[in-house]
Structure 1
């Protein structure tokens, strides 16, 4: 789950529009490429089992310190094109994001984009690699900023702080996932 969604996904009252064109955002030309990270953790469960936990987005709040209330849209599920929403929080602020699943490969990968595949702001990749003679997996969680948006902040430092906070959150998420998966082994 991304910590900050595109402004079009925030659920706040809108301001009246004016005839004056919007000012160009200060970060409009910022290259998003360096705003990424990958974290890994060994989990005492087979890749298929871990994939089932991650692709059931309703469980996200079980291990994520910043996401809750995550659920697929009615009649959607863990397949490419499925949409889901979730509530996020950081520094006393809360907002709702909308995401789209872009890859499902059971036991191998689960990938989604916050904001949707066509105009997303952040991509989350989960990859699962068997290790330990079928008894465990290395779970890899990656985050990549795809584009800037005013909700990310007004300075490069704001975006760096978001990335760093999200990386810490991912580490906590992976550790909590490892604890949860160890109790739900399918061996």
Structure 2
């Protein structure tokens, strides 16, 4: 039996798992240093092309269960999102769910693997569930995935460049 996929598939025929992706980059820093940077959510605007004004809730920090807010923009639209950390393993990985662990819609995950004097950083994006706010057709969700893939590639490249410049600057 073959399944036909159309860019106009009805919303209820789509599957969130179909829109996940991951990208990797090698960076010139130890996993502990990379973790220190990525777990400081307020720093993401240094590298991400579409996130800014990110901050932990008062008294919160980079640990499981902590919440933070940030502004996002895409296609001329801007909104604030709330996210909850679901994985905080210093030197190994960091992850959060937009909307919170119990009712979120997107999971972001960073995985850090030592390689030589640096780290392979993998950033992944996964829809946990479909929500009309993200798109209602396969074409819209494919466009969102392409946009987010480009954003992740830009973020990883900017992070690698920032770390290389940090390493080469005199102390």
TM-score, scaled relative to structure 2: 0.89
Once residues 166 and 88 of structure 2 are traced to their aligned partners in structure 1, the CA distance between those partners, rounded to angstroms, is 21
Once residues 107 and 161 of structure 1 are traced to their aligned partners in structure 2, the CA distance between those partners, rounded to angstroms, is 33
- Deviation of 1:174 after TM superposition, in Å, equals 0.1
- Deviation of 1:156 after TM superposition, in Å, equals 1.4
Secondary structure, counterpart of 2:157 in structure 1: helix
User: How many residues of Structure 1 are paired with residues of Structure 2 in the alignment?
Assistant: 158
> Residue 119 of structure 2: which of 121, 133, 137 is its match?
137
Contact 1:113–1:123 (8 Å) recurs in 2: yes
Contact 1:45–1:184 (8 Å) recurs in 2: no
Secondary structure, counterpart of 1:151 in structure 2: coil
Once residues 59 and 102 of structure 2 are traced to their aligned partners in structure 1, the CA distance between those partners, rounded to angstroms, is 21
Residue segments in structure 2 that go unaligned for 5+ positions in a row: 1-9
Once residues 47 and 155 of structure 2 are traced to their aligned partners in structure 1, the CA distance between those partners, rounded to angstroms, is 5
- Deviation of 1:29 after TM superposition, in Å, equals 4.6
- Deviation of 1:28 after TM superposition, in Å, equals 4.0
- Deviation of 1:184 after TM superposition, in Å, equals 3.6
TM-score, scaled relative to structure 1: 0.82
Once residues 151 and 167 of structure 1 are traced to their aligned partners in structure 2, the CA distance between those partners, rounded to angstroms, is 18
- Deviation of 1:179 after TM superposition, in Å, equals 1.2
Q: How does 1:14-29 map to 2 (within 5 A)?
A: 27-29=11-13
> Residue 85 of structure 1: which of 69, 81, 103 is its match?
69
Contact 1:65–1:169 (8 Å) recurs in 2: yes
> Residue 25 of structure 2: which of 41, 57, 62 is its match?
41
| 1:64 and 2:48 correspond | yes
Structure 1 match to 2:149: 167
Structure 1 match to 2:109: 125
Structure 1 match to 2:140: 158
Structure 2 match to 1:6: none
Residue segments in structure 1 that go unaligned for 5+ positions in a row: 1-25
- Deviation of 1:154 after TM superposition, in Å, equals 2.2
Structure 1 match to 2:7: none
Structure 2 match to 1:8: none
Once residues 36 and 68 of structure 1 are traced to their aligned partners in structure 2, the CA distance between those partners, rounded to angstroms, is 23
Q: Deviations over 1:135-182 (max 9, x none)?
A: 200000000011111111221111110011000100000000111122
